[in-house]
Amino acid sequence: MQQVSSNSVELPIHVCAKTIARRLSVIVTCLTLAGILSGYFWLSEFPFPATKWFYELFSLDGELNIPAWYSAFSLLFCSGLLKAITAIKAKDRHFSYWKVLSFIFLYLSLDEAFSFHEILIIPSVRESLHLNPIFFQTWVIPGAVFMGIFAFKYLKFWLDLPHKTRYLFLIAAVVYVSGTLGMEMVGGLLRVDFGRRSLITLTGIVVEEFLEMIGIVIFTYALLAYLSGLRESFQLKIYISEN
């Protein structure tokens, strides 16, 4: 049992999965609308000087800005929830699956923040192999291979999950992968056919990022709901020392 000094203050924080999911959904909606507005400023070359700053801050296709950092944080939050499940499932036969999932989401968080996957975007390979425009972003090829291997390895684990969790995990995976891989390939096709600076390409980017963010919201809700089923009362506790 964890010992807490008598001069510490305990601050329990009760977690409601539905409340968190609703609030995250509102954040995602606001970020999507801000991204659409920034795209409008970019396409129309709006004359106000602040529009460039707004675009760089809220562009859904940008890096090191508010939507990118939100996505990185939400993935990191999922990694933390998976780590908590891993700790609870220490003696469970699926312990290693939960542990690996935690590391995968930690990597996805870092990748969202620092775009490691762009190392795999190799124009020379695309040109030399005359790849279809859907492979304009060449990282989707190893990404699709990894997803196939992951789905095969995790099928039995997924089937052993409780019905509600299994259903939510599937929806979250379909929505998220539709954004990260599906719309990324569609986006490559749109960039080749219409160019990067076009309304239809921008629409594809908005759909892609929205699917990614909302997919993570669904997964976050699924993890919180699963955690609440493992403990009669799921709560976070923060101990603040008076010293």
Summarize pLDDT for 153-197 with one digit per residue, the tens. Answer: 999 999 999 999 999 999 999 999 999 999 988 988 888 888 888
Residue 120: which pLDDT band, with cuts at 50, 70 and 90?
low
Going by C-alpha positions, the residue among 139, 148, 141, 212 that lies closest to residue 175 is 212
Q: Is 125 or 95 the better-scoring residue by pLDDT?
A: 95
Question: Which residues, in sequence order, are CB contacts of 231 under 8 Å at separation 6+?
Answer: 88
Phi, psi of 122 (to 5 degrees): -120, 100
Q: What is the pTM of this model?
A: 0.85
Check whether 224 has a pLDDT greater than 70: yes
- Domain ranges for the chain: 8-241
What per-residue confidence (pLDDT) applies to 16?
Answer: 82
What per-residue confidence (pLDDT) applies to 81?
Answer: 94
Question: Which residues, in sequence order, are CB contacts of 114 under 8 Å at separation 6+?
Answer: none
**9 C-beta neighbours (distance < 10 Å), count:** 10
E strand intervals along the chain? 8-14, 235-241
Q: Is 174 or 52 the better-scoring residue by pLDDT?
A: 174
Q: How far is CA 199 from CA 36, 154, 196, 231, in A?
A: 10, 39, 9, 48
| DSSP 3-state of 236 | strand
What per-residue confidence (pLDDT) applies to 233?
Answer: 41
Q: What Rg, from alpha-carbon coordinates, does the chain have?
A: 21
If you average pLDDT over residues 201-220, what whole number do you get?
A: 95
Check whether 207 has a pLDDT greater than 50: yes
Residue 203: which pLDDT band, with cuts at 50, 70 and 90?
very high
Segment 71-90, tens digit of pLDDT: 999 999 999 999 999 998 88
Q: How far is CA 229 from CA 27, 89, 147, 164, 238, in A?
A: 26, 13, 28, 11, 22
Output DSSP code: residue 135.
G
What per-residue confidence (pLDDT) applies to 113?
Answer: 83
What is the spatial distance between Cα 20 and Cα 222, in angstroms, rounded to a whole number? Answer: 11
Two tokens at 8? Answer: 């510490």
What is the spatial distance between Cα 13 and Cα 19, in angstroms, rounded to a whole number? Answer: 13
Find out whether 227 and 81 touch, Cβ atoms under 8 Å: yes
What per-residue confidence (pLDDT) applies to 189?
Answer: 86
What per-residue confidence (pLDDT) applies to 50?
Answer: 73
